[in-house]
Amino acid sequence: MLTVLESINLSTDYLKNKGIESPRINAELILAHILKCKRLQLYLSFDRPLKEEEVILYRELLKRRSKFEPLQYIIGNVNFLGLDFKVTPSVLIPRPETELLVEEIIAQCRDKEFIKILDIGTGSGNIAITLAKFIHGSNVIATDISEEAIEVAKKNAAVNEVEGKVFFLKHNILLAEKLPEEDFDIIVSNPPYVTLEEFKNLDNELKDYEPSIALTDSSDGLSFYKIITAKSKNYLKENGKIYFELGHNLSTKVFDILQANNFSNISIKKDYQNIERIISGELL
């Protein structure tokens, strides 16, 4: 029988030949998932022989990864700011750039006694749940157009023990339907901002597997920014704040949208790649 080390070495070569980035890490994480252990624990078990059923399952999952199915969907979860989130093809995979958005809000609101937050387009619930977890005085309403996404988010709220602090609602911000509540202190969104033309050029992992409804804007990449900003004036308290994650090269245009809608103290922050990624503004 193949040992853990032999399996990792063979799998690394296989994924490398298929064009998968970081093939060794991928091979190790998939095997750790099968063996129900931490990745680093594999290094203490190099001589352990794999059972036949483990080898069969490992081959099945490696084949899926070789076709560029995202690793996170294969193993079924992702870490976001130290919390564990279940992910399925119904939701966008949370990314490090979005951690910056959440960290910015937490830093400004951690000590608030009570703060009411609206998360538009919640997906897996990673933004809403993490804010509820780390801002103790928070109450969060999270909306999404997808019933399947909301079901995933509800499970994540239970896993992360914030069920009583986050409330999920199916809602389409693009339509005229009103939300049942108002007077939010904060509105936050990581909206779809990839144009249809840009979508054609995305990596296979994004284009072929992640939900296009959570990625693409059928117009110029600004539709959701415009609509959310305009409608936020009906839902934010005076001096309430709005936070967006930005698409590449959209910062100037979103700045102008906020300014045209009576937002002031507009701030833009860059991500780890020096890309302008987070924008916030305060309603006058």
84 and 178 part of one domain: yes
84 and 21 part of one domain: no
Q: Does residue 92 form part of some domain?
A: yes
51 and 108 part of one domain: no
99 and 196 part of one domain: yes
138 and 25 part of one domain: no
Q: Which pTM does this prediction carry?
A: 0.93
126 and 51 part of one domain: no
CA distance 110 to 88: 30
pLDDT along the chain (284 residues), means of 10: 94 97 97 95 94 96 97 96 97 95 93 91 98 94 96 97 95 87 94 88 89 86 95 93 94 97 96 94 93
118 and 52 part of one domain: no
183 and 221 part of one domain: yes
Domain boundary, last residue among 47, 67, 87: 67
pLDDT, position 184:
97
Asked if 187 contacts 245 with a C-beta cutoff of 8 angstroms, the reply is no
Q: What is the DSSP string of 122-181?
A: -TTSHHHHHHHHH-TTEEEEEEES-HHHHHHHHHHHHHTT-TTTEEEEE--TTSSPPPS-
Asked if 83 contacts 129 with a C-beta cutoff of 8 angstroms, the reply is yes
Q: Which residue segment(s) compose the domain that 63 sits in?
A: 4-67
pLDDT, position 181:
83
pLDDT, position 213:
87
pLDDT, position 186:
97
Q: Does residue 72 form part of some domain?
A: no
pLDDT, position 200:
85
DSSP H/E element including 114: none
Q: How many domains does the chain divide into?
A: 2
Secondary structure (3-state) at 58: helix
Asked if 276 contacts 268 with a C-beta cutoff of 8 angstroms, the reply is yes
